[in-house]
Amino acid sequence: MGILSNLEPIPVFSYFEEICSIPHGSGNTKAISDYCVRFAREHHLDYIQDNANNVIIFKDGTTGYENAAPVILQGHLDMVCEKEQGCNIDFTKEGLQLQLENGCITAKGTTLGGDDGIAVAYALAILAANDIPHPPLEAIFTVDEEIGMLGAAALDCSPLKGRIMLNIDSEEEGYLLVSCAGGASATAHLPVQTKKSSGTLAVLQVAGLLGGHSGVEIDKGRANACILLGRSLYELKKEFSFELISVNGGLKDNAIPREAAAVLLLPPGTDRKRLSEALSAQNSRYQNEYKQTDASIQVSLTKEKEGSSIDVMTPETADKVITALCCLPNGILYMSHDIEGLVQTSLNLGILSTKEDIASSGNEVSFTFSVRSSISSQKEELIDRICCLLKSLGGSVTCKGNYPAWEYRQDSPLRDLMISVFEKQYGKKPVINAIHAGLECGIFSDRLPGLDCVSFGPDIKDIHTPKETLDVESVQRTWKYILEILKELN
């Protein structure tokens, strides 16, 4: 008997518990993929399993629904594997230890993988049943969603006939997601020319910022340490002479940088008192501008040592680096007119980097951005703006990880139906929402022209952490909701 064996609906919780017993972290999905294949064979259902471990399972419509439009049920097989300190689980070989307390399911010491194991459990329960009315079904189980939507990107969509998709990969009951941002990682490359010089080495640092996720928290107005570093350098250049050795900041393109630093070479005779006063004034300005978001901002200059015959950037190169930092776009560019409060287009300078040996051939300063937009053309516009500036400065731009937006549909029969069904079941309207981050829906909407899609799911709290919880009653209500939607899709 399993921990969840007495919970209704029994098939859903039974499949979820089986899924949790199988190691299925991102990049380790062969076992869970084979489990889905065995399920299809046992239930005499057609299926496709590809080399990436994605699985598609097909089922005919029930009586009266044979000629209805096919419906896609979609979720991902992989989970984020995080554990508490002291937990000795081997995620590659061991299943999870489930716990049930106060109406919530958790895993002992680890993430639960409700994101997105519950979607797979829902779909398997529907595919296994003989008493649930539904149109023809195409259940898509993708892999490696959590590490870049790699499975969806690799999936051959040509066998799919459905243009109605229920994506069960949201974590807040009562919210219907209808759009998401597309994105790309764009890196601007600026060649570095150097010369020899002498003076006092010093480090200009911008620190104490809050940072955050560049999709979820880009609308919070938080400062970007790399951008402020460029501003500080430009302001100092107006009054003081210095030579630039390097600029560095940030660790990930999708994280707002909390710290950034420039290594400078100060010439003999620099007025330290006036320089200190200038930095103090910068501190006051920044702390005033960001007093609601980054009250602990600090700009500091630390003297290191005297040095001679040091490689520094030529004045022309340093000017180009500072110009790029000051003029490259960053932050929110456009807000949505369709969904109130939704960031439509943004970018984040997440990584600023100078190679260690700037004297060697081919070195550069690089600026890596996470570019996001729920309008594909605006994402391309932003990349073009970066290219335009870098080309004028003698640099270039490379892009990777390009994924499409899921653009908002003004006309969505599926959305209208799901709103109606929700109102009947819950006695209130659902919240229509969109997110400024990527979902697999964007890839499928790009591959399946005319796709009508909505993303939803039960309450899952603290996903991607060992505190993750799955609410039992929410799972039950969402199950009832899914079945009624399928019943109405005739």
Q: Annotated catalytic sites, by residue?
A: 78, 145
Peptide bond into 116 cis (omega under 30): yes
CA distance 38 to 413: 35
Two structure tokens written together for 399: 């892009």
**Per-residue CA distances from 341 to 336, 337, 436 (Å):** 7, 9, 11
One-character DSSP codes across 224-241: -HHHHHHHHHHHHHHH--
SS3 378: helix
Smallest Cα–Cα separation from 213: which of 364, 403, 438, 29? 438
DSSP category for residue 192: -
Q: Which amino acid is at 137?
A: L
Number of other residues whose CB lies within 10 A of the CB of residue 440:
27
Beta-carbon contacts of 413 under 8 Å, excluding residues fewer than 6 positions away, are 452
CA pair distance 404, 376, nearest whole angstrom: 7
What is d(CA 388, CA 375) in angstroms, rounded to the nearest whole number? 20
Task: Report which residue type is found at 67.
Answer: N
Angle at 144 between CA 14 and CA 254, to 5 degrees: 125
- The DSSP H or E segment spanning 13 is helix 10-20
Cβ proximity of 348 and 185 under 8 Å: no
CA-to-CA distance for 15 and 13, rounded, in angstroms? 5
DSSP 8-state secondary structure symbol assigned to residue 166 = E
Can you tell me the distance from the alpha carbon of 306 to that of 292, in angstroms, rounded to the nearest whole number?
39
CA dist., res. 352 & res. 224, Å (int): 11
Output the DSSP codes for 412-479: -HHHHHHHHHHHHHHSSPPEEEEESS--HHHHHHHHSTT-EEEE----EESTTSTT-EEEHHHHHHHH
For CA atoms 354, 216, 332, 168, the dihedral sign is positive
Q: Quick check: 186 and 371 in contact, CB under 8 A?
A: yes
